[in-house]
Chains A and B, each alone.
Chain A
């Protein structure tokens, strides 16, 4: 039985699943995205109990499970805590052509990091500890790409 299987190509059915979704953003992230879209501002929220400042804002504090109901405007600057230079192409996923840089950016005024693109610099020149600032997109639609990217502060 096993011999004939080596001389044939296994039969496969190619397929693709494309199902539309409309994901509800919810009140917490809606405020974040409205501020980004309408005013080009990055807002965070702060836990009244432990003081942790989250950006993007959270529905509940991950430490205390309290509502982080104190809203704080951030300056939009931060420090690169980590980064990677992505070398592979994945056109259906990546809004950029490789190579490009993802940064894990510790935001000034917040206790958390944001993941976003770092542009306007040669990828090899990005360093941990580098100071960066958010650059906003011209046409903003109310999503994370309203921040076009972060760039080094000159």
Chain B
């Protein structure tokens, strides 16, 4: 298989009530990604946009931002899901032999709508939707199931929020950089027990873009130091309905991770990965997913977190960007993780730079309570 590089990246500052329109956001990150790569729109062969019609409040949302993404006269297609899945489709199109370069661009303005109403519509209208479930209440069911299965405490999840909001202090793009304590999380407003306000990620606006290129195109278009290589990708889905799976069982993520590690030649992910951006839409998810990723044994991630293993200065920094707990533009989020990993591997991550980063992991989620997962391994 031909190698594929990420040759250009960009992301907006993550905010609420962003005054730019969808198209303006897409213009901004597309232009900035092209500038980052040092190429022009004529070097882009095709575009994958990432958005959700329900979040945008209009159908065929890819068509509405097609000219903003420079797709006029080109092939454009859309992924309605997390940005890691959009990038996965972009990778496949790049590898298909039809396109040398692919722009993947995601936009999201959650603050323009109602998160609970939107995420309620993700549930089956024939069964659970009438109960009023949404992203928060379903996550709360998962959090308690995870606590029950492994005897975990709310204070342990609170530590994820403390770490990630603290990491965001080093990221000028993050929405909520905060120095907080476990007590602050525990005393924050109860939303859906066991989740408190500071266990939940904030509704966020933003956009991100990455440019993928085949090895031969990358070598022609950009200097070698710009290239970050796709080493491995894996993805896998679990059952749709919450009650059809054990919410504390991460079998789909484990399968996705195994595929990515095998493709990347990784034997011992806990030692070989230098940093990970993990989908922490809620505090407990970070530790649950770290177990699914095989970075810790099942039920052990909270203990490893308490020992400092995932701190910014620890042996395996997790979410050095501040994670989704600090800025959560849905759909953009996984693409932003890839952008973060690229900056880290290029040594361009500023104050949040993880020293000597050579292998990075990005993990995205689609569906309620992590129904499906996409795992990326990037390297120099």
Enumerate chain A interface residues (CB-CB to B < 8 A): 5, 10, 12, 15, 17, 21, 23, 25-26, 29, 54-56, 58, 62, 81-88, 90, 92-96, 102, 104, 112-117, 128, 143-145
Contacts from B to A (Cβ < 8 Å) = 17, 19, 57, 112, 116-117, 120, 125-128, 130-134, 136-138, 140-145, 148, 189-195, 239, 241-244, 247
A115 and B144 contact, CB distance less than 8 A: no
* Inter-chain contact A144/B127, CB cutoff 8 Å: yes
| Complex Cα spacing A116 to B189, Å | 24
Judge whether B133 and A115 touch: CB under 8 Å. Answer: yes
Q: Which residues of chain B come closer than 8 Å to A62, judged between CB atoms?
A: 239, 244
- Measured between beta carbons, the chain A residues less than 8 angstroms from B142 are 82
CB distance from A142 to the nearest CB of B (A): 11
7 example contacts (A-B, Cβ-Cβ < 8 A) are as follows A62-B239, A82-B144, A85-B192, A86-B192, A92-B117, A94-B132, A115-B243
B145 touches A54 (CB 8 A): no
B247 touches A15 (CB 8 A): no
Rounded to whole Å, the gap between the CB of B155 and the closest CB of chain A is 18
Residue of A nearest to B58 (CB): A17
* Nearest B-chain residue to A123, judged by Cβ: B193
B194 cross-chain contacts in A, Cβ below 8 A: 84
Chain A residues near B57 (CB-CB < 8 A): 15, 17
Please give the distance in Å from B129's CB to the nearest CB on chain A.
Answer: 9
A144 contacts which chain B residues (CB < 8 A)? 127-128, 130-131
Give the docked Cα–Cα distance between A12 and B143 (Å): 37
Contact at B193–A93, with CB atoms within 8 Å?
no
In the bound assembly, the distance between CA atoms of A2 and B378 in angstroms comes to 37
In the A-B complex, list the 6 residue pairs whose CB atoms are closest, starting with the nearest: A84-B140, A113-B243, A93-B132, A94-B132, A82-B145, A10-B19
Cβ B130 vs Cβ A95 within 8 A: yes
Task: Assess the B133–A102 pair: CB atoms within 8 A.
Answer: yes
Nearest neighbor of A105 in chain B, beta-carbon distance: B243
Shortest distance in angstroms between A66's beta carbon and chain B's nearest beta carbon?
15
| A83, B148: Cα distance in complex, Å | 11
CA distance in complex: A95, B191 (Å):
17
A82 and B148 contact, Cβ closer than 8 Å, known pairs A87-B193, A116-B131: yes
Q: Tell me, rounded to whole Å, the shortest Cβ–Cβ distance linking B157 to chain A.
A: 14
In whole angstroms, how far apart are the Cα atoms of A113 and B142 in the complex? 13
Chain B residues near A117 (CB-CB < 8 A): 131
Which of these, B17, B112, B126, B131, contacts A115 with CB under 8 Å? Answer: B131
Question: Do A56 and B140 form a contact, CB below 8 Å, given A93-B116, A112-B243?
Answer: no
